[in-house]
Structure formats: C-alpha cells, structure tokens
Structure 1
Amino acid sequence: MKRIPIMKGQLLAAAIVCAVAAGFTPAAAYAQETAETPAPAGGQKISEYTMDKVVVEGKQDRPDSPGALADGFALNSGGVGFLGEKAVLETPFTQTTLSNKTVETFGAPGLPLDSILTNSPSVQAAGSVLHNDFTFRGFRANGTSSYVNGIPGMFTQFNAPTFMIDRIDLISGPNGGISGTGSHYESNAAGGLINFVAKKAPEEALTRYTQTFSGYGSFGEYLDIARRFGQDNAWGVRINTELVNGETSIHGENIKARGIFANIDHRDEKSATNILTGYRYIEVEGGMRWFKLGSAVTKLPKAPESSADYGFDGMVKASRGWILALNHEQKISEDWKAFFNGGLNRNNLTKNVSGVNSAFTIKNNAGDYDLYVNNGGTPMNTYYAQLGAQGRIIGGEVQHTLTLALDHSWRNRKSATGYVNKTIGAGNIYTGFVQERLPNGDYSTGLAEKQKLWGWSVVDQIDYQKWQFLVGVHKHFATVDSYTPATGKRTASVDSDAFSPTYGVVYKAADNLSVYASHSESFDKGTVVSNTYVNSGEILAPAKTKQNEIGIKHEHAGILTALSFFDISQANNIEVALAGDNSKKYLIQDGKDRHKGVELSASGSLSDKWNVMGGFMLLDASREKTKGGQYDGYDVSGRARWNGIIALEYQADEKLGLVGRARYTGKSTINDEKIAVPGYTTFDLGLNYKTVLARTPAVFSLMCYNLTNKDYWMASRGDQLYVSRPRTVVLSARFDL
C-alpha cells in the first residue's frame, strides 16, 4: 500500500495543540524623570534632576532546573552538547528541556521512562518497566543511546534511575557533530540526543524524605540530602537514595529496587568540577508485555486486559551496576578554557528468564501462545573519555566561539554461552495460561562483542548582530568485533569511518522571535546481529543518518512556542522471516527509512495560576530503495502518524494544585502493512497539597495514570506489540526536614 499525502491525517492530535494567548512581551524596566516637578504649595521649588537610563534585570533563584518558564513544565534553556547551556531561541534545532517538576510529576517506580519523555511530542511511548525503549522522531532508542551529564553510555536498556535526575535535555535530530562519539546497544541516537542532568546541591541546605505507595502494594522511600560548604560555598554534595519493594498495578509484577547516588561539585574563579557516582540494583518479577504475531494471524487480536500478567512462574529480570561520571572545566585565560568529560558504566544483567527474544508469539486470531522461554545475561562495561578546549575569538562585530575536542568510547559485552529454548506451557491472552514446569535459571556468559570508537570534532559558533551561524564537523572511526561466547573466538570484524557535519543558521528577528535552518548527521558503527536471529554474529554495514530542519521559535505572553519541519533519512536494518517459518528471522540491511514531519510545541504560563505544556508531531515514516522496489512507499513498522500531548496545571492557591495530562498516539501498521494497530488516548489526573506539620513543610500528592483504565496495544520494536499499562495510582508524601 502506498503512502497517503502527509496532510490528510487525523485531526485529533491537532486538537491537542496549545492555544497561545496574546498580549505580553517581556521587557526591561526603565525610569527617567524629565517633566518639571511642581513646588509644594507655599514652599521652595524642589531641585530637578534628569536620571540616566536605568535597566533593571532580574533572574529568579531556583536551585533545581534553572531557567524554568514561570516555574513550569519546561525550561527556556538547556544543555546543547559542545555548545553548553543555550537559550531555546538561540539553537538551530528543536530543543526541549523538561524541568524537575515534569520529572517528579510524571515519573514513578511502577512507570516506564517514556511516561516522562513523552511530554515532548518528538517521543512516542514504546517501553515498559523492564525496558527503557521509546522512539524519537520515529527512530528506536533506549538508555544506551542517551547521555548523563553530557557523557554517553551511562545508562542501559533496562529500567532507568530517575530519582537522581534534575532535568532532561532533548535535542531532536542526529547531532553527532555537537555531541561526540557514543557506543550504543540495540538502539542509536539517530532521532535525537537525550541528556539526563543529575541533581546538584542548591545554595540552601536540603534534607528531604519522600514516601510513595503505588499499584497493589509497592512501597518506596527516598532521601534527598544536599549541603554546600567551604569558602563561598565552593563545595557541594547531594545524596539521593531509593528503596522500592512490592507489587505494581499489574497483577504478579513485583519490583525490588535499591540505589544510592552522590553528586559532588566544586567551583572557583578558575575551574568547575562535577563528579557523579552511584550504584543501583533492580529486580522485576513477572510483567511480561511483549508479543509477536505468527504467520497464521490475519487480523489484530483485541487488546487484552492491561492489568494481567502474561508472564510465568519463574520469569525474572535483574540488573545491578554502578556508574562514575566526571566533568571538569579549567579556565586558561579570559577567553579560553579546557574541558574533560569521562565516565564508566559497569552493569550486569544478572537474571534474564523471559520469553525468547523477550516476547511470546501469538499463534492465531484467538490469541493462543506458547510459553517458549530461555534465559541468559548481558554483562557489559562501557567507558568514555573526551578532552577539548573552547574559546572566543572576537574581530570587530563578529565573535567566534570555537570548540576543539577528541574523544574515545569503548564497550565490552558478554552474552550467554548457550541459549536453551524450551516450551514450558501454553496460554491465551484472554483466558490465562497453563504452566507445566519451571524454567531453567542457570547460565554462564562469555565475550560476545567489542566496540571501539574514537573521533575528533571542530565546532564554530559565529555571532554577528542578529545572526548566529553554526559550523561543525565530527570525524570518527569505529571497530566492531563479534565473538562466539562459548569459545571466545572472534568470528567477524568491521572497521568504518565517516565525517558527520553539522551546520545551521539562526536569525533573531526580535528578542523573543527567531527563525532557523540546519543540517545534521550522525554515523553509527556496524551492527552485530544478535543471537535472536538466524544469522547471529554477522556484522551489518554502518548506517549514516541525515536530517534537514527549518523552524521558527517565539516567546510571547509567557508561552514559548516552536514550529519545525524536518526530513530524516537512515539506512535500514529489517527483519526477514525464514521461508515457511515466521518465528525464525534474519536481520539484513535493505534500503532506507525516510521520516518527514511537522512538530509544534508550546509551554509556559497562561496566568499566575495556570501552566501548560503540549504539542503534536505529524510523521510520515516510509521505506525507500528496498530490494527490487518491493516495499517502496510502505510504512515503517510501528511508527504512528500522529503523536500529541497536552498537560495543564492549575494552582488554586498557595496550598492546592491540580494537574492533568492527555496523550494521543495515532494508528500505525506492522508486518509490511498487513496489520493495523489502532491509535489510543490516555488521561492522567492528579493533585498536590502543601502544608506544614510541626514546623515541617510537607507536600502530599495523589496521581492517577491511565485514568480510564484503557486497554490498548502499543506498536514497539518494529513488528512487535506491547500490552498497555493499566490504571496506576501513586500516593506520595514529601517532607523537608
């Protein structure tokens, strides 16, 4: 089936667009006395003075998430790779920075990471509590393709520790030219960059204790302690801890998590240093959500009950690991500084007993499936180091901000030495399952893959009057080696290299209005075919991603609005079924994916009592240049045409606040457009109440996600389906001691 024109899609997501109120343009305050001042009756004439122009500028002090729009859901500035902290109006890309309020309002222990990330219309939900999967402008991503404090590879594809996160920077598009080289697993950063910024110690001392209750019996305890000390408060320490245990809103899904993170920073006139280190263990029992469709399925089965567990006795995934991330800047002169960014992530998926390829295969239209399971683990160590310099060069009215950087990243991944796939029972998505025996939980691991990437970057930001130009290039070299885990023998190797340029232009027509255009690219290393495919161990050719984007940004009446048009292309890796057996598949590279779209977002303050955040993305994701043209013009599997979100906060008074959110995902297709997956809309609603108990400030919150308890299918990981999460109620009590 060929694609329909992009502007004939549904109108529901368009209704999600936030209305931008008219009226107010922020300006500096001026005071000037020019008129003659009359003398008081019967008195001496007062002396007259003409004052010089006085410009009064103010910046509210917010320890967490600086730069928020009226303390709202999003910020008007954020981190942009090598460019550092940049105002949204000054970047030639779609830039969104989610505030700490957004992280805390829409994140919870029993919710996937995409519950937070989908507040950007660029992001579509595709994950679960087990996995961090999501799509960014239609490209699959997970924790391994994200950054922490500007350092890639510090998270995994498993559940992410959001309790230590202050804000999240999202830069749409493949911007390798301003971010350096990262190593990824089961994903890439083709759709954009996501940077998680850890909490730092604010100026005021903080001792915060939070308790949560969610689902059928999941309890959580959190400590957040921060202090600054030394001369001029130069040193800061912030400790965040987590302890979670109990059953989520899915019957039979239990979470155990414990973690501790410490962020230590130091600042003086010549340097700034930040060290983040932490450990986390998380175990999830049950919670099976992913399904594939067998060749006998001719229509999409009705979505099953979202609160049911489709796993089995003995299903478990557990991960433990620790990270260390270091950022340092050293002032060399008034105009130049040197910087270093480095980190390591040592993570071990210690338990992984689940369906083969993390999914069960539905065999027929009635919803029957076999409990076809295996076990294994994927210990992996990730390392990153970057060294560079940045400085200003001024000539007349032209200012250059030049960045030079070298970086190196490498990852070693192990896998099970032998997978034993067994059928331990049978089930039906509507009536349950019968398990005949327990799965085997024993396994051993061996080296499966080594990635080594190194590169250099040159970026020049040129400022001239109302114009800003960005010119950057990144060159990196990649080596990928594949090994047989059982023997340690190298089976394949590929070397690759490429230039990834980035260039853009911003014109600030006014202080609150800018228009821009940009081109950006990224280059992935060769992909080692995993053991879930028949051609396991092969290495597919590296894939380059290119994006062209134009847009306009406007801040008016307390609302920041951005409109962009983008066109992204990427070489495509696809699954191809073995003839006569749809359960056995090859992974091959065939043609390319083309993602063209429109994105509109708005965030800010409607009034003293109202905050808003919302937007939509209209995406035309299709396949091009496939073998023999067989699938040219077909949908990219699982990519919704429409994606929209709107969130509103009402602060009734100093104590009571209400928040609501609606998310819409349009229909998509899978299995070469043979199966249509319906769209869905979910609603979240909550309130918080501030009070003082025995001189202790407290905030009590009640949040309900998926308010209507809607059951629906989510298209995920290409042709796979994911059962939605049910209504989830979260209660929390926060005390500032």
Structure 2
Amino acid sequence: MLKNKKALVMSVLCAVASVGFVMSASAETMHGNLDEVVVEGSKDVLPGGNVRTTAKLGVLGDKSVMDIPYSEMSMTAKAVETYGDPSQPLANVLMNNPSIRTSTTSPMYTDFSMRGINMNGNHMMLNGVPSLFYQFTTPPSHIIDRIDITSGPNAGVNGVNMSNNGTNSGATPAPGTINIVTKRATDTPVNRYTQTFSGRGNAGEFIDVGRRFGEKNEWGIRVNAEYMEGGLALPGTEKNEKNIFINMDHRGDNSTTNLLAGYFDLRVNGGQRWFSLPNSYSSIVLPDAPDSKNNYDFNGTTKYVHGYLATLNHEHKLDDTWSYFANMGYSRRSGNKDNQGASIKFDEHGNFVGNQFNQQNEEGKNAYVQFGLKGNLETGAVKHDLALSVDRSWARYWNKSKSYKPNGQEILGNLYDGIIFPDNYVLQSFGDGTPQWEETNIGLTIADTISYGKASMLLAASRKHENFESFTGKSFKNDNILPTYGLTYKPVENMAFYYGHTESFSRGLVVSGNNYTNNGETMGPVKSKQNEIGVK
C-alpha cells in the first residue's frame, strides 16, 4: 500500500514538473524569438506514410480518392523504398496494389498484369505524359515521389497515348493507368548518398541532392543519379545501370512549372526466363518442374538500351476560377537484344525443341503535347469542376531482327540441365534497324465533375483519332469516342459509395497464321468495357 502511495506522489510531481516546463516554454515564446524550426509533412499522407489521400484524376488534376468513382491508390516515395529493390523491376512495388500481379520472372522485361490484362512500361505516364517508356524500361525507383495507380474506368479523362505496347502490339486496351510523379526540391535541403547490395553481388550507389532558391524559395532543383552493377539472384544474370535525372521547378503566385530531363543506360546480361510449348505439342502431361537455380542463358545473352527523355508541365491561373495547363514530353532510345527468341520451347520430356538464336537492333522516338483549360463554376446549388484539353502523341520505331540456327545447329538442352549452345560462335553484325511503323494520335477530351450536397457525378469523354502506318505490313485508321462516367455518394465524410463505367479501344489486329481461314484479314478494334461498383 505504501509503495502505491509513493508511486502516486511521484506521478503527481512528474506531471507538475511537466506542466511547469510547458508553461515556461510558452512564456519564453511570448517574450522572445526562437530559431525557426521547419517540420516537413503532408496532410495528404495517411498514417504510416505509404499511401496518399489524393491522386490525379486525369485532366481534372489532383482530387481526393474519396471523390474518384473508381479504384485509385497513390503510393508515396516511402512505399517505393520500403517494398522496392532498385535491382528489380518496379512491378515488385506495384504488386502492393491488389489488382496488380507480376507476369514475368525475367529481369529482361517489365511485364505485369492489372485485372488480368498484360501491361508494362509502355502503359506508364511520367508526370502526366504517356508513352516515354517501353517493355524493357520503367521509371527508375529512386526518382519517384509518388505513384498514382488507377485500376478501373478512366480511359476518357487522360487523353491519348500510343497503342503499341510490346506485348501484344496494341491488340488489348489497357485496363488502367499508372502515373509516376518525380521528386522535386523541398523547402528543406536534401543531401543523400545511399548504397545498396542485393542478389549475388549487385551493388548500387545513389545520389540525391535538392535545393530551393529565391526570396520565397520559388526556384528548385533536384538531382538524382544512380550507378549499379553486379549479379542478380538468378544464376548467371547481372544488371548494369547508370542514369542521371535533373528536375527543375518554379512556383509563383499564379503559376507552377516543372521540367525534368534525364539520361539512362541499362543492360541486363542473362535472365532468359520465358518458356512456352511448341505449336505441335500434343501431350496432356507437362514435364516435372525444374530447379529454379538452373541457368538457361548462353554466354552473350543480353538486352541493352540507352537514351534520354524530358517532360515539361506548366499551369497558370487566369483568375480565381480558371487556369490553363500544358504537358509535354519527348524520349529517344536505342539498343539491342541477343537471346533465344521471346521464349524457350520444350516438349513433354522437358527437352528444348525448335529454338533459334535471335538478334535484334532497335530504336524508338516518342513525343507528346497537351494543352488544356480547367475551372470551377456554380449553377445554383450545383458545383462544376470542368476541364477541356487537346493532345497529340507521336511515335516512330526502327528495328532489324534475325532469327537463325547458330552454326546451322538448333539450340539443344533441357529444363533440368540447361542449354547446349555451339562453341566458338561469333555474333553477326547486320546493321542498324530500319523503319517499321509510325503512329500519330490526336485527341479531344472534356470532363465535368458535378457536385450537389453529398453526391457527385463524373462525366467525361475523349475523341481519339488514330493513324498507325506500318512500313512492313498493313496500316490502320480509327476514330473512336471513349466515354467515362461515374457516381459517388458520401453519407459521411470518410465513407463513399461509388459506381464507374468506361469504354476503350485497341488498335485492331491483322490475323496471322495459316491455321486461320481468314489469314491476313484486318480485324476491327477491340472494345473493352469496364463497370465497377464499390465502397471506400
């Protein structure tokens, strides 16, 4: 009993001392000036720091995820650092979204799936600009400030992008959108040097430096650079990467401007991990699974790309209600690939059959420009968030590839012992790629979010004119309207019921294969519809 009384007395004394300290500090504040203390944070980030409460709603800009009538998740830089590995594809981070699954175990590709439909770097936007990456490349994780993942009906609010995606040549409409926002300079100076080690000896070095200048810190610059090399977890596989990205921004009283420019150089040696059954396969029994540690690469298996890109974003307030915006981007890349075709074929016993050597030299250019106007107005008790934009995307692709049997010999081996590749084989040199196709897309997008009380409605549509010109086969022209609409009802501030609908189109497809009676026929675009209902 005595001990409890002593404990109670000590607690009271501690509480009194604490109050006295606080009061003393407050009194000091009233009579003098303390040194400035800057505490950085964001009200937009949920507890834990991995997910934001706002995300990009296409041309309408950043909105609360509670007001967006489909599935939306915005991951922070902390989530990328926590769940990512710089030596691995970005899909490892994206898989924290329940609608995304990885669809490849090969570091030669960036493929993943969203709601069961294949996607890759081609489907990613960088600072709102589409089609600056492709199947082998995604934005490097160390430059990412946030990732806005839209898994649902949104085709009519983002403008136009390129149809060719490297996996199925644009035959399937994308099921959603992934927008990467790059790091910008913060009010607090950034000086960061990071080392990483993973795999079987892969080491990376990263530099992150940021500063703001001017009387009101209106100018900012952020520099992110990477140097990485070494072996990955897959035997015989290594990843070598170096890049530098510079982000400059200006924030004035009536306008904001952001310019990103970067150079990248990426090579993956080894890592062939795609398998398939030959067309003649007739057995209903598959062979036993091999040891995952087996190496299926010949000496010289590689995939390489280097290039540069830039994005420019500008928004200017005309008055308290209206503003105009512009988004632009450009990328150019070139590289080569030497491997056993897209995949390794095997029979019912696990033996490799029908495999040839593949060499490929390729080059690509992409450009994008968008201009728009957005604003707010009221018609009685009804509020409108309006946006209107026009955009144009353009791409050109060069390629030269050759598949053949090295030294006249088929690539042999099996799933259990690896491949048998001819010794003393020297890679052939057959020149740069030749023009394969050119694509130009022009779009007009209009969107309106109508709010009344606890309910809101999104109405949007994008008119897309597509012109795909093939230099080696058939060309396509399509004119499509992509509608999007949705309803949201919030009975209380932190709960929302929603419904969303969208329609999107693929580019069309040429039937290829003697097994088809309509071989060579040009099919029309595939229409994809999505309907979603849920609660947040």
TM-score range, shorter chain: 0.7 to 0.9
* Structural mapping, 1:195-214, within 5 Å: 195-214=179-198
- The one-character-per-residue Cα deviations of 1:329-379 (angstroms, maximum 9, x if unpaired) are 01111100000011011111x2201112x2110122334446521111221
Change (3 A) 1:441 1:364: farther
The question of whether the paired residues in 1 share the 8 Å contact of 2:258 and 2:312 is answered with: yes
Displacement of 1:231 in angstroms is 2.2
Match of 1:550 among 509, 533, 536: 533
Counterpart of 1:109? Answer: 86
Q: Which moved more, 1:258-267 or 1:182-191?
A: 182-191
Counterpart of 2:122? Answer: 144
The question of whether the paired residues in 2 share the 8 Å contact of 1:287 and 1:311 is answered with: yes
2:471 equivalent to 1:483:
yes
Displacement of 1:304 in angstroms is 2.2
The question of whether the paired residues in 2 share the 8 Å contact of 1:174 and 1:189 is answered with: no
Q: Which moved more, 1:420-429 or 1:84-93?
A: 420-429
Change (3 A) 1:386 1:520: same
**SS across alignment from 2:474:** strand
2:308 equivalent to 1:325:
no
Change (3 A) 1:382 1:540: farther
**SS across alignment from 2:314:** strand
2:328 equivalent to 1:342:
yes
For structure 1, which runs of at least 5 residues remain unmatched after alignment? 1-59, 485-490, 554-737
**SS across alignment from 2:230:** strand
The question of whether the paired residues in 1 share the 8 Å contact of 2:51 and 2:79 is answered with: yes
Match of 2:451 among 460, 463, 469: 463
Counterpart of 2:524? Answer: 541
The question of whether the paired residues in 2 share the 8 Å contact of 1:174 and 1:522 is answered with: no
Counterpart of 2:62? Answer: 85
The question of whether the paired residues in 1 share the 8 Å contact of 2:489 and 2:497 is answered with: yes
Displacement of 1:419 in angstroms is 4.4
Displacement of 1:305 in angstroms is 2.3
1: CA distance, partners of 2:80 / 2:429: 38
The question of whether the paired residues in 1 share the 8 Å contact of 2:498 and 2:534 is answered with: yes
2:172 equivalent to 1:186:
no
Normalized per residue, the structure richer in helix is 2
2:504 equivalent to 1:518:
no
Identity of aligned residues (%): 35
Match of 2:367 among 360, 383, 395: 383
Q: Which amino acid aligns with 1:242?
A: E
Counterpart of 1:582? Answer: none
* Structural mapping, 1:18-29, within 5 Å: none
**SS across alignment from 2:156:** helix
Counterpart of 2:427? Answer: 440
* Structural mapping, 1:613-628, within 5 Å: none
- The one-character-per-residue Cα deviations of 1:647-699 (angstroms, maximum 9, x if unpaired) are xxxxxxxxxxxxxxxxxxxxxxxxxxxxxxxxxxxxxxxxxxxxxxxxxxxxx
- The one-character-per-residue Cα deviations of 1:387-430 (angstroms, maximum 9, x if unpaired) are 11001111222111110100110110111165445455311111
Q: Which amino acid aligns with 1:468?
A: S
Q: Which amino acid aligns with 2:137?
A: N
2:280 equivalent to 1:280:
no
Q: Which amino acid aligns with 2:118?
A: R
Q: Which amino acid aligns with 2:123?
A: S
1: CA distance, partners of 2:396 / 2:210: 35
Displacement of 1:198 in angstroms is 0.7
**SS across alignment from 1:281:** strand
* Structural mapping, 1:176-255, within 5 Å: 176-183=155-162, 184-186=164-166, 190-255=174-239
Q: Which amino acid aligns with 1:473?
A: A
**SS across alignment from 2:79:** helix
- The one-character-per-residue Cα deviations of 1:625-652 (angstroms, maximum 9, x if unpaired) are xxxxxxxxxxxxxxxxxxxxxxxxxxxx
Displacement of 1:125 in angstroms is 0.8
Q: Which moved more, 1:426-435 or 1:138-147?
A: 426-435
2:434 equivalent to 1:451:
no
2:414 equivalent to 1:431:
no
- The one-character-per-residue Cα deviations of 1:186-210 (angstroms, maximum 9, x if unpaired) are 2565211111111111110001000
Task: Using structure 2 for the length normalisation, give the TM-score.
Answer: 0.86
Match of 2:275 among 291, 298, 307: 291
The question of whether the paired residues in 1 share the 8 Å contact of 2:385 and 2:450 is answered with: yes
Counterpart of 1:663? Answer: none
2:175 equivalent to 1:175:
no
1: CA distance, partners of 2:337 / 2:63: 41
The question of whether the paired residues in 1 share the 8 Å contact of 2:512 and 2:519 is answered with: yes
The question of whether the paired residues in 2 share the 8 Å contact of 1:341 and 1:387 is answered with: yes
* Structural mapping, 1:68-83, within 5 Å: 68-83=45-60
Change (3 A) 1:270 1:255: same
**SS across alignment from 1:492:** coil
Displacement of 1:289 in angstroms is 0.3
Change (3 A) 1:443 1:107: farther
Change (3 A) 1:528 1:279: farther
Q: How many residues align?
A: 484
Counterpart of 2:395? Answer: 411
Change (3 A) 1:224 1:177: same
2: CA distance, partners of 1:530 / 1:237: 50
The question of whether the paired residues in 1 share the 8 Å contact of 2:60 and 2:386 is answered with: no
Counterpart of 2:142? Answer: 163
CA root-mean-square deviation = 2.3
1: CA distance, partners of 2:482 / 2:197: 47
2: CA distance, partners of 1:174 / 1:377: 37
Q: Which amino acid aligns with 2:119?
A: A
**SS across alignment from 1:110:** coil
Q: Which amino acid aligns with 1:209?
A: Y
2: CA distance, partners of 1:173 / 1:209: 38
Q: Which moved more, 1:409-418 or 1:419-428?
A: 419-428
The question of whether the paired residues in 2 share the 8 Å contact of 1:520 and 1:546 is answered with: yes
2:292 equivalent to 1:312:
no
Counterpart of 1:644? Answer: none
Task: Using structure 1 for the length normalisation, give the TM-score.
Answer: 0.63
Change (3 A) 1:304 1:111: farther
The question of whether the paired residues in 2 share the 8 Å contact of 1:126 and 1:133 is answered with: yes
The question of whether the paired residues in 2 share the 8 Å contact of 1:123 and 1:136 is answered with: yes
The question of whether the paired residues in 2 share the 8 Å contact of 1:331 and 1:337 is answered with: yes
Displacement of 1:174 in angstroms is 4.5
Change (3 A) 1:299 1:83: farther
Q: Which amino acid aligns with 1:313?
A: N
**SS across alignment from 1:366:** coil
Displacement of 1:69 in angstroms is 1.2
The question of whether the paired residues in 1 share the 8 Å contact of 2:382 and 2:451 is answered with: yes
**SS across alignment from 1:116:** helix
The question of whether the paired residues in 2 share the 8 Å contact of 1:141 and 1:189 is answered with: no
Q: Which amino acid aligns with 1:541?
A: G
1: CA distance, partners of 2:70 / 2:227: 38
2: CA distance, partners of 1:305 / 1:366: 12
Normalized per residue, the structure richer in strand is 1
The question of whether the paired residues in 2 share the 8 Å contact of 1:173 and 1:191 is answered with: yes
* Structural mapping, 1:606-617, within 5 Å: none
